[in-house]
Amino acid sequence: MEISKCCLLLLVASSLSYIVCSTTVSHDGRALIIDGQRRVIFSGSIHYPRSTPEMWPDLIRKSKEGGLDAIETYVFWNGHEPRRREYNFEGNYDLIRFLEEVQNAGLYAILRIGPYVCAEWNYGGLPVWLYKIPGMQTRTDNQPWKDEMQNFTTLIVDKVKEERLLATQGGPIILLQIENEYGNGDIEIRYGEAGHRYINWCANMAESLVSDVPWIMCQQSDAPQPMINTCNGFSGCDGFTPNNGNSPKIWTENWTGSFKIWGSPHPHRPVEEVAFQVARFFQSNGTVQNYYMYHGGTNFGRTSGGPYIATSYDYDAPLDEYGNIRQPKWGHLKELHASVKLMEKALTYGEVVEDHLGNGLTITKFSGDGIVPGCFLSNQNSTVDATISFQGTNYFLPAWSVSILPDCKKEVYNTAKVKTQTSIMVTKKDNAGDQSKDLRWSWKPERLHDSAKGFGNSFTVNKLLEQKTTTVDASDYLWYTTNVEVSKKESFTLSVSTTGHILYAFVNGRLVGSEYATGGTYNFIFERKVTFKPGKNQISLLSATVGLSNYGAFYDNTPVGIVGGPVKLIGKNNTILDLSESNWSYKIGLDGEVRKLQLDEERWYSGVIPTKRPFTWYKTTFQAPLGSEPVVVDLLGLGKGEAWVNGNSLGRFWPNFTANPDGCKQCDYRGNFQTNKCQTACGEASQRWYHVPRSFLKRGEPNTLTLFEEAGGDPNQVNFQTVTVGTACTSAGEGDALSLSCQGGRTISSVDFATFGEPDGTCGDYESGGCGSDEAVAILKDACLGRESCSIKISDTIGTSCAKLASPRKLVGQVTCS
């Protein structure tokens, strides 16, 4: 951030002098105006609790290097106020430290307070204790809700002000958000008139807290003034115009990919598509654009919402889950940012003239007195390439691409012409050693019998309770236990109707079966044959949630658990014994959770380690991998549960939930994007690798990995690896430079393929083609071997063995980093 021109030297009463560098932020219908200048702003989302404070400076630095001006984050209410009026602003919830890191890097911040945030975050960010407040109805014109929302919003604003973090105080925050996508779909409509009143109240409340930094409301077409309504989505805010002539066009969520779901393949969004939409946004008068996500990160602990959102929140973002640079996404967008910035003045002050040539071709010119004109040439046709003749020059535009001509003459960038290297990330054991053989496991059974009997804090009522309101989300697990008397040995079908997400049924302490909701439907009926002994029999049902709902009108009322049932015993001749109103005893959480086994130093069992045994705790010690590359633990072989390193939760794991085998077809970036268009890992574990942040690890002394295995698994294959660039490929044409680089101090150890011209295949899988391969390989070896990075200028003297190859020459290369 530039030092503001409005720095004021103030004399305070004590006669000490200090400098207040305040930045003014306002807007008109054209742009955000910072210190009197209309600006183009590139921003990216990094959610602070999805990484660690130790990772923040590096993530922010890489964001800045990638050409961002601002970092956006939500504020996560249920992380900050886990119990009413008990606050947590420590560790990865240290919001102030995060904002200070943004400021230290010289970037702006966009703070989306919500405090409803959606975000694939548990319960959309709302604390479950809200339920306990009499008369509570969230996100509407309801006094108890408004009191709580205002209380938390005020707390955050006060904290931020205390630390002088608003731009007008000299801090980084240039925009604030209240609520989130309340106007989406039929959400506001379903809250009725009260919903409208609520949105007006939100606007007034926000404005009363801060009036000199603009507030936004996303996806809120009726946003009351002075709130700026903004848009979210994949396609460049197509057809979106703010509801007021004084509001600039802001794209709050440009989804760089999507979130991972247990049991689904991994979603990807090609950078050519992202860049195309960003360029079109600026072509159509956009001025503030935020990548959701720029770094997705990890849902540590039990923070994922959804339900069924995986622990990895990688999002296919420009920085991967672990903080590595994802190429070519990061680099191609970096070039885009630099190219758009070259015409910032024209975009924000120029007059716009659009020329539609037909077939999806458009020329847009921004020009004015004393301004260097800037142009976009776009081809929105999803299949047909085109050549546009403009001011006497021909410009080649691949289908679904935009060219940027910052002086309306020279094309400096085309969204489909990717020059950045492709990096294929790999996991490596070289720094970690082959630990799978060395890891010595010990184990403990979860004390099911005691839990099933209602041992510990338990209570009894004669109905089937809703789970999250009973546990207040203190655990994923709730035990429902009842007794049934029969006079003789008898068989029944036990039938349990549940709203999910997972059910385990025990009769007389023995597991008789389990089931989990699949395919996005969370209601299911579990049925199993059971046999009762004469006398008293015990039925224990363990219901497990996998993150609470986070989206939709009244989403917070979505029931979970065996609420209301019915739970029935179906006997011979279809006789039905309805147990729904029997005496049910409840126990919240697992015994091991209550006893905090992940911190437990007491004796565990060693010797033969049971495998495929549900409800088992495992523990091992390991040495931290050397170096500084990100560390992951491979949990293939395990079923479902939670993992901890040195007491820090890595999140839920579920490697035995494999993705649908279909749906990973070849991906064409051209044409409108949907999340299932470009998927990988079909038929594989939906998440096999789990991030172990370096700050969770101790160097030179043993670290402890604890696993709670709920479904039954085998820890013997578990091992630690590091993540780095394995293979890098790129190509460059005459006049350009071919650049390749490794990461994490690794060097180029071999040149695996090189040629002039167009080879067959893709990075990691080139076959043949082009010409002069021997010469091309020799050139790359000479320039790159043994180096962390290399760059080769492509001139007309290069590739002499391909002299007959038509100009322009192109060099393609693939190398290994190790």
User: Which residues are catalytically annotated?
Assistant: 181, 253
Measured distance CA(560)–CA(381) in Å, rounded: 46
Query: Which residues in 625-664 contact ligand GAL (CB under 6 A)?
Result: none
Tokens 């009413």 map to which residue?
84
Site string for ligand GAL, 133-172 (x = CB under 6 A): ----------------------------------------
Query: For ligand GAL, which is the closer residue by CB, 181 or 634?
Result: 181
Phi, psi (5° rounding) for residue 74?
-80, 170
C-alpha pair distances (Å), 97 with each of 47, 54, 511: 13, 11, 47
Q: Would you call 195 helix, strand, or coil by DSSP?
A: helix
Cβ of residue 310: shortest distance to ligand GAL, in angstroms? 13
Closest Cα to residue 618, out of 641, 648, 595, 589?
A: 641
Binding window for ligand GAL (CB under 6 A); candidates: 111-119, 263-271, 317-325, 500-508: 111-119
Told to check if 187 binds ligand GAL by CB under 6 A, we report no
Measured distance CA(130)–CA(124) in Å, rounded: 13
Query: For ligand GAL, which is the closer residue by CB, 188 or 642?
Result: 188
Measured distance CA(530)–CA(528) in Å, rounded: 6
Enumerate residues 6+ apart whose C-beta is below 8 A from 367: 346, 350, 351, 353, 373, 374, 408
- Per the CB < 8 A criterion, the answer to whether 552 and 497 are in contact is no
- Which of 46, 102, 119, 343 lies at the binding interface for ligand GAL (CB under 6 A)? 119
Regarding beta strands 70-74 and 108-114, do their DSSP bridges make them parallel or antiparallel, or are they unpaired? parallel
Query: For ligand GAL, which is the closer residue by CB, 270 or 374?
Result: 270
Query: For ligand GAL, which is the closer residue by CB, 259 or 644?
Result: 259
Cβ of residue 117: shortest distance to ligand GAL, in angstroms? 6
Residue 34 tokens, joined? 């910072």
Told to check if 118 binds ligand GAL by CB under 6 A, we report yes
Measured distance CA(797)–CA(734) in Å, rounded: 10
Query: For ligand GAL, which is the closer residue by CB, 118 or 579?
Result: 118
- Per the CB < 8 A criterion, the answer to whether 456 and 450 are in contact is yes
- Which of 92, 122, 169, 180 lies at the binding interface for ligand GAL (CB under 6 A)? 180
How big is the CA angle at 224 (ends 218 and 230), to the nearest 5 degrees? 20
Cβ of residue 269: shortest distance to ligand GAL, in angstroms? 12
Binding window for ligand GAL (CB under 6 A); candidates: 112-120, 167-175, 419-427, 510-518: 112-120
- Per the CB < 8 A criterion, the answer to whether 314 and 381 are in contact is no
- Per the CB < 8 A criterion, the answer to whether 402 and 396 are in contact is no
- Per the CB < 8 A criterion, the answer to whether 147 and 130 are in contact is no
Enumerate residues 6+ apart whose C-beta is below 8 A from 195: 140, 141, 182, 187, 188, 189
Peptide bond before residue 328 is cis, with ω within 30 degrees of 0: yes
Query: For ligand GAL, which is the closer residue by CB, 181 or 775?
Result: 181
Cβ of residue 301: shortest distance to ligand GAL, in angstroms? 19
Query: For ligand GAL, which is the closer residue by CB, 76 or 720?
Result: 76
Told to check if 230 binds ligand GAL by CB under 6 A, we report no
Cβ of residue 232: shortest distance to ligand GAL, in angstroms? 5
Binding window for ligand GAL (CB under 6 A); candidates: 20-28, 114-122, 209-217, 419-427: 114-122
Query: For ligand GAL, which is the closer residue by CB, 101 or 181?
Result: 181
Cβ of residue 667: shortest distance to ligand GAL, in angstroms? 20
Residue 752 tokens, joined? 């695996």
H helices present in 378-523, as ranges: 435-438, 448-452, 467-471
Cβ of residue 758: shortest distance to ligand GAL, in angstroms? 37
* Distance between first and last Cα of the chain: 37
Cβ of residue 175: shortest distance to ligand GAL, in angstroms? 15
Full DSSP string of 574-640: G-EEE-TTS-EEEEES-HHHHTTGGG--S--B-SSPP-S-SSEEEEEEEPPPSSSS-EEEE-BTB-S
- Which of 43, 73, 232, 312 lies at the binding interface for ligand GAL (CB under 6 A)? 232
Residue 701: alpha-carbon gap to chain centroid = 32
Query: Which residues in 708-767 contact ligand GAL (CB under 6 A)?
Result: none
Enumerate residues 6+ apart whose C-beta is below 8 A from 204: 224
Enumerate residues 6+ apart whose C-beta is below 8 A from 538: 452, 453, 481, 482, 483, 506, 507, 508, 509
Helices (H) and strands (E) in the chain, counts: 13, 46
Binding window for ligand GAL (CB under 6 A); candidates: 82-90, 118-126, 356-364, 396-404: 118-126
- Which of 72, 120, 466, 642 lies at the binding interface for ligand GAL (CB under 6 A)? 120
Measured distance CA(677)–CA(667) in Å, rounded: 7
Cβ of residue 545: shortest distance to ligand GAL, in angstroms? 19
C-alpha pair distances (Å), 634 with each of 167, 322, 490, 688: 44, 14, 45, 6
Cβ of residue 74: shortest distance to ligand GAL, in angstroms? 7
Closest Cα to residue 696, out of 652, 634, 645, 635?
A: 645
Question: Which residue, judged by CB position, is nearest to ligand GAL in the bound state?
Answer: 118
Query: Which residues in 356-415 contact ligand GAL (CB under 6 A)?
Result: none
- Which of 69, 101, 181, 556 lies at the binding interface for ligand GAL (CB under 6 A)? 181
Residues contacting ligand GAL: total by CB under 6 A? 10
Query: For ligand GAL, which is the closer residue by CB, 255 or 276?
Result: 255
Query: For ligand GAL, which is the closer residue by CB, 119 or 173?
Result: 119
Binding window for ligand GAL (CB under 6 A); candidates: 7-15, 113-121, 332-340, 678-686: 113-121
Cβ of residue 125: shortest distance to ligand GAL, in angstroms? 9
Cβ of residue 410: shortest distance to ligand GAL, in angstroms? 37
Query: For ligand GAL, which is the closer residue by CB, 117 or 343?
Result: 117
Query: For ligand GAL, which is the closer residue by CB, 451 or 550?
Result: 550
For residue 652, what is the DSSP state?
Answer: E
Binding window for ligand GAL (CB under 6 A); candidates: 117-125, 243-251, 446-454, 485-493: 117-125
Query: Which residues in 251-310 contact ligand GAL (CB under 6 A)?
Result: 253, 255, 259
Across 123-153, b (16+ Cβ under 10 Å) vs e yields: bbbbbbbbbeeeebbbbbbbeebbebbbebb
- Per the CB < 8 A criterion, the answer to whether 280 and 354 are in contact is no
Cβ of residue 416: shortest distance to ligand GAL, in angstroms? 25
Query: For ligand GAL, which is the closer residue by CB, 675 or 789?
Result: 675
Q: Which parts of this chain interact with ligand GAL (CB under 6 A)?
A: 117-120, 180-181, 232, 253, 255, 259
